[in-house]
Amino acid sequence: MKALFLILISLMSASLYAGTEYDQAYKAYTAGDYAAALDGFTLLAEEGDMKSQYYLANMYREGQGVDQDYAKALTLYKQAAMQGSAGSAHNVALFYHNGITVPRDVPKAVEWYKRAAAKDYIDSQQNLALIYYHGDGIDPDIEEAIKWWRRAADLGGERAQNNLGLMYFLGKGVKQDFERAVFWYRKAAEQGLAEAQNSLGAMYHDGQGVEKDWIESYAWFKLAEAGGAEQAGLNIAILESKMDPDDLALARERAREYLELYGREEDSQT
C-alpha cells in the first residue's frame, strides 16, 4: 500500500511539474520570447502534451522562433488532434482543404472538420456548411449545409446565423420565412456582423418579417456602413432622400445608440 501511495504521489508530482513547465512556456510565448517557448513546448510536446503540440505547431506554421515549416506544423497538429484538440483538428482540415504542404483533398478535410465540429468547434461547422452548400470538392447537399449552419448558429456563430437568415429569406433548403430570416439576421447583427446589419436594415426598409420602419432601417444601415458593408452607403443615401428631417434626426440618434451597443471596426473577414 505504501509503495502504491508513493507511486501515486510521484505521478501527481510529475503532472504538476508538467503543468508548471507548460505555464512557463505559454507565458514566454505570449510575451514573444519564442526561444524560451520553443524549448519548453518542444520538450513537453515530445512527452505527449496536447496543448504544447498545438502551440508548437502554431510556431512552425508562422515561423515564430523557428524556420517556417508547414509539414512539421501539420504533423504536430495531427498529434494534438488525435488526443482530442478541436482546434488542431480544424487546422489539419485547413491544410487539406487548401492544399498546404499536402495535395488538396476536400473529402479528407471534411473528415477532420467533422472531428472538430463534433466538439462544437464553430469555425469547422461553418466551413462544413459552406463546403456542402457550394459543392466544394464534394457533391452539394443543401440539407447538410443547413444542418451545420444551424448547429453553428445555435452556438453563437455569427456567420452561420447570417447565412441561415439568408436561407430563410431565399427559401433555400428551408421553407421561406421572413420572420425567421429577421430572427437570424438580428442575432448576427447584434454581434456586430456588418453584412447581417445591412440585411436587417433592408428587412425594416421593405417591411419583410417586421413592420416597416425607416428609422430602424437607417440605424442598421449606419452600423453596416461603419462595419465596412459597401452596399450600406447607397442604402443610407436612398433613405436620406426619402425621410423627413424629424425622422432623419431620430434615425441618426438611434444609429449613434446602436453603434455603442453593436458597433464593430470594419469587418475584413471573408
End-to-end CA distance of the chain: 60
Spatial contact of 202 and 173, defined as CB atoms under 8 Å apart:
no
What is the secondary structure of 74-93 as a DSSP string? HHHHHHHHHTT-HHHHHHHH
* Radius of gyration of the chain, Cα coordinates, nearest whole angstrom: 24
Return the pLDDT at 19. 60
The CATH fold of domain 19-83: 1.25.40
Q: Helix, strand or coil for residue 222?
A: helix
Question: Helices 50-62 and 86-98 sit at what angle, rounded to 10 degrees?
Answer: 30
Single-letter amino acid, residue 105: D
Spatial contact of 157 and 122, defined as CB atoms under 8 Å apart:
yes
Please list the ranges in the chain whose pLDDT falls under 50.
Answer: 1-17, 267-270
Q: If we measure between CA atoms, which residue out of 109, 44, 110 comes closest to residue 83?
A: 44
Domain extents for the chain? 19-83
Return the pLDDT at 209. 98
d(CA 181, CA 44): 48
Single-letter amino acid, residue 25: A
For cell 430570416, what's the residue?
181
Spatial contact of 97 and 127, defined as CB atoms under 8 Å apart:
yes
Burial degree of 117 (CB within 10 A; 0-12, 13-18, 19+): buried
Q: Encode pLDDT of 42-83 as tens digits.
A: 999 999 999 999 999 999 999 999 999 999 999 999 999 999
E strand or H helix at 220: helix 214-226
